[in-house]
Structure 1
Amino acid sequence: MKKEQLGELIIASEDTMYHVARTLLRNDADCADAIQEAIVKAFTKLHALKSDAYARTWLIRILINECYKIMRTEKRIVSLESYMPEESAEQSKDYSDLYEAVSQLPKDARLTIILYYVEGYNVREIAQLLDLSESAVKNRLARARARLKNELEAKEAL
């Protein structure tokens, strides 16, 4: 892959990169830092990419590693308000319980749910991104779905 092709891939993956970073970091400044570092690292390590077919997965994996690096260096407690994406009043009214339930999932389950439902990755791609087996990804999705269902049913009963 040439640098021009990588640049085009980065531009095409802009939204995905932001969603993945936001899922892990929840702070726009940290997200921007992680994305910027991932892009720099992708350009400098382009020779390490073995197959162009996996370029997008490789780029997202670099981003996830950069997010984890930021999380390790800046461990802190984040309030629920800064942890949920900003949206219009109508959307937050309709889906606030769902966003809250997703935000309360453990980090690994939350990332798996976001990659699967928001970004549209399939189980095999998620397994490659997170260095897991496909069955581990399926188990995470099943547990996260069950937990979300229980939390939403409990809120509905109130």
Structure 2
Amino acid sequence: MENELDIKKAQKGDHEAFTRLFRQLESQLYRLAKTILLKDEDCADALQETTLKVYKGLANLKQPKFFKTWVIRILINECNQLLRMRERTIAVAEIPEEPVVSYVHFEDSGNVDLQSFINQLDESLRLAIVLFYYDDLSIKQIADVLDISEGAVRARLHRARRLLSKQIHPVREEGLANE
């Protein structure tokens, strides 16, 4: 694997190799952070903290082939920590609820915006979908990253697909009826 050479170089202190590694993962990590946090400014914070933790801990990574899943796990932990901090802040500040915004909309081609439906899923289901379909992780890799069984990953994917199907099909039928 070509990344393993860069990982080994980065472990020895090569800053350019480290930068290349993160540039390759940048869009995947951002998408994953956005899936969990939903706010761009929180995503930036999580990515920055993840980068620092990976940089500091990279020398301790024993098997370079697990670099991607290791980084994803760190990012998920950072996102969850930000969510916990946000919950404490909101509880103290008593911020009024934001108005409910409809996520359902059609593009000119009549296709449903799938990402908006995915964003409506529970976080555990959303994570499974994004890691599997967008980040191309295997069920085993997802189980390792989320620290759950492979059966739990399959169950989450199945449940998420079923919920997405229920959301999409009525919208498609409604769209066709209005044409």
TM-score (norm 1): 0.84
The structure that has the greater radius of gyration is 2
Q: Would the alpha carbon gap of residues 74 and 6 (structure 1) be closer, same or farther in structure 2, given more than 3 Å must change? A: same
Q: Would the alpha carbon gap of residues 139 and 27 (structure 1) be closer, same or farther in structure 2, given more than 3 Å must change? A: same
1:105 corresponds to which of 111, 121, 145:
121
Higher relative CO (CA 8 A, sep ≥ 6), structure 1 or 2? 1
1:136 corresponds to which of 143, 152, 155:
152
Supply the AA of the counterpart residue of 1:105. Answer: L
Indicate the larger mover: 61-70 or 47-56.
Answer: 47-56
Q: Would the alpha carbon gap of residues 78 and 45 (structure 1) be closer, same or farther in structure 2, given more than 3 Å must change? A: farther
CA RMSD, Structure 1 to Structure 2 (Å): 2.2
Identity of aligned residues (%): 34
Supply the AA of the counterpart residue of 1:17. Answer: L
Q: Would the alpha carbon gap of residues 95 and 68 (structure 1) be closer, same or farther in structure 2, given more than 3 Å must change? A: same
TM-score (norm 2): 0.75
Measured after TM superposition, the shift of residue 24 of structure 1 is 0.5
Runs of at least 5 residues in structure 2 that lack an aligned partner in the other structure: 1-7, 91-96, 175-179
Measured after TM superposition, the shift of residue 80 of structure 1 is 6.4
Distance 2:78 2:108 in 1: 34
Alignment size in residue pairs: 150
Note the 1:82-101 alignment, pairs <5 A: 94-96=111-113, 98-101=114-117
The answer to whether the Cα contact below 8 Å between 1:127 and 1:134 also exists between their aligned partners in 2 is: yes
1:155 match: 171
Indicate the larger mover: 60-69 or 1-10.
Answer: 1-10
Q: Runs in 1 of length 4+ with deviation above 6 angstroms?
A: 77-80
